[in-house]
Amino acid sequence: MSELIETQTSRHNLRHLLLSSAAAAALIALAYTAEPAQAADGGRPTVWIELGGQLERVNGQGAPFAPDFTQTFADSPAFLSGSPITSQRAPRYSKGLEGKITFAPEGSDWVFSASLLYGRANGNKRVHQQTAGIPLGTDSLIRMVWPSKTVLPIKAYSDVRSRVSESHAIIDFKVGKDVGVGIFGSSSVFSFGTRIAQFTSDRKTQIYARPEVHPYGGLGKYWTNFSADGKSERSFRGIGPTVSWEGETALAGNADGGVTFDWGVSAAVLFGRQKANIVHSTLASKFEQYQFNYPNKIVYHDTPPPSVRRRSVVVPNLGGFAGLSMHYTNAKISLGYRGDFFFGAMDTGIDRRKTENMSFHGPFATISIGLGG
């Protein structure tokens, strides 16, 4: 219960931080734009407000639950259309929004910016499959001798219910300088600043399966029912310095009215906290039916203690993007492809720690409006 309260509190704090950061950035930008807008009538905009969205492929959401019976009976006819492992597949893509405020004082090469990128993915899936069952020759005899007894074919089956959710947020505060390096086109900005990142991944799985049903020489049958439950909560939160280099190269027209090729690379080192809370259990019930006897039930129950892991980590981060922009006097429309890779950010293990890279990559589209100037 304390872990749940901690998770809910952390998420509330993140939302509070995002709203506060966005509001602060907007106030700073508005404070700076009032005077330059009057002093530089007819010049280029001093403030750019950018909004957009992205569709990203997400990796590093955590391993699926894999009880022993899913491996022991990997060739079961009940798993032909998909094993309980593949049925837990997390959503491949996340959808999200992004925003950025950039302030470039008139007559200066310095650029100040604050940006936010947020994405999330949710998956809720149920996969059920079963065989036709094994009728036995003695079933009709049983009904003749014992009319009140219902004899049905025993079917091999699997039923998997999986719920997966993922969210990520990245906040950047940067100060940069337009170095305007020759062949790199009309703009080339080298920046440094602070990056804040938070990743969460939650998974809840229920598996019910009867992988095989075996005959007893035509006189009976036996089978084993399995059930497994698993729940995981994983997260990383970190902050650290970041550097980036972004530029644009004119392809047609100029930066004030034309098409440009945009590019950028970035690197950061994040110091933060990695967490994983894992709970799972497996129950096996064996049934035997021989002639007129009732099934005999033998129970096997495996419930390891919860695995609660906490570790301070240092996470390197590399990213980049490329795209095209259509420029207007006070507006810009951009399309491109972007990727960010956070090395060793998530603990994706079940019973023991196992680190995995968290990454996001995919297409994005933004529209920017210029103010002042």
The model's pLDDT over 101-150, given as tens digits with 9 standing for 90+, comes to 999 888 888 999 999 999 999 888 888 888 776 555 455 555 555 555 55
How much is the average pLDDT of 161-175?
94
The model's pLDDT over 141-163, given as tens digits with 9 standing for 90+, comes to 555 555 555 555 677 888 999 99
Beta carbons within 10 angstroms of residue 237's beta carbon = 18
Where do the domains of the chain lie? 2-60+89-143+163-208+234-276+313-371
- Please name the CATH architecture into which domain 2-60+89-143+163-208+234-276+313-371 falls: Beta Barrel (2.40)
| pTM of structure | 0.77
Q: Which amino acid is at 121?
A: A
How much is the average pLDDT of 7-26?
43
What pLDDT, on the 0 to 100 scale, is given for residue 69? 87
Residue with tokens 């405020």: 101
Asked if residue 350 has pLDDT above 80, the reply is: yes
pLDDT > 70: what percent of the chain?
76
